[in-house]
Amino acid sequence: MLGAPGAGKGTQAKRVAQAQGQPHISTGDIFRDHLQRDTALGKQVRLYLESGRLVPDTLVCEVVADRITEGDCADGYVLDGFPRSLPQAEALDQRLEGQGEQVAVAINLEVPDDEIIERLTARRHCPECGAIYNTKFRPPRRPGFCDKDQDVALVQRSDDKEQTIRERLRIYHETTKPILAFYEKKGVLRSVPGTGLSPDEVFANIEDVLSGLGVAKVS
């Protein structure tokens, strides 16, 4: 699942993974988990995450390589937030090729920058269950609290402050966007508009893409 930060990758990737019965692998979630548990990896990536910069390719690729060799990935998986640079896309490709596998589809969620900034400054999540809300577009039933874990106060990601968002967008355009051409060349890129539509409508469009490609496992 490709797209700028805040394009809705996390929300859509989770839904696709659920529909496909495949694990959802978010490198951002993996790093945040390590940060919270203050592991050795957490210490290594803290500064990158806090400043909105990309974690070095070799480190990210190692984390992903470890994760995709776990048993639950044998039947495919949904990557969210990876790859984010050309070297990462190439490393993934090489690794998959070595196993006789390939990326089935790269879905690009298209959202303009000004909407990204508006969305991300209003993004909140539940630290318990990970549910994502938006104070403007998808508010929780009780302001400030999770719908599921009703006593848990929602929090804002530390990298969702406007200055950090602008830096993340700059990096996205400079470093991440070139991978769209990489997947386009391979014939697996599919762009889906991620703006002006509800998350359900975006998901319906993604499902259409997956069925059209014969990738969907569950109709």
What minimum distance in Å lies between the beta carbon of 38 and ligand AMP? 16
Instruction: Verify binding: residue 159, ligand AMP, rule CB under 6 A.
Output: yes
Piece in contact with ligand AMP (CB under 6 A), picked from 26-34, 117-125, 144-152, 192-200: 26-34
Sheet containing strand 2-3, edge to edge, reads: 2-3, 106-110, 189-193
User: Cα separations (Å) of 16 from 20, 68, 77, 83, 145?
Assistant: 6, 17, 10, 17, 26
Q: CA distances (Å), 58 to each of 12, 49, 87, 219, in order?
A: 27, 16, 9, 37
Does residue 138 have an active-site annotation? no
On whether the CB atoms of residues 109 and 5 are closer than 8 A, the answer is no
CB of 25 to ligand AMP, least distance (A): 10
Catalytic option among 14, 123, 124, 190? 123
Let me know if 141 is a catalytic residue: no
Tell whether residue 27 is a contact of ligand AMP (CB under 6 A): yes
Among 1, 17, 54, 106, binds ligand AMP (CB under 6 A): 54
Q: How far is the CB of 8 from ligand AMP (least distance, A)?
A: 12
Nearest Cα to Cα of residue 216 among 3, 10, 22, 14:
22
Confirm whether 84 is a catalytic residue: yes
- Judge whether 123 counts as a catalytic residue: yes
Place of tokens 């879905």: 107
Token pair, residue 170, equals 């700059």
- Indicate which residues carry an active-site annotation: 9, 84, 123, 157, 168
Give the footprint of ligand AMP on this chain (CB under 6 A). 5, 27-28, 31, 48-49, 52-55, 60, 81-84, 88, 159, 168
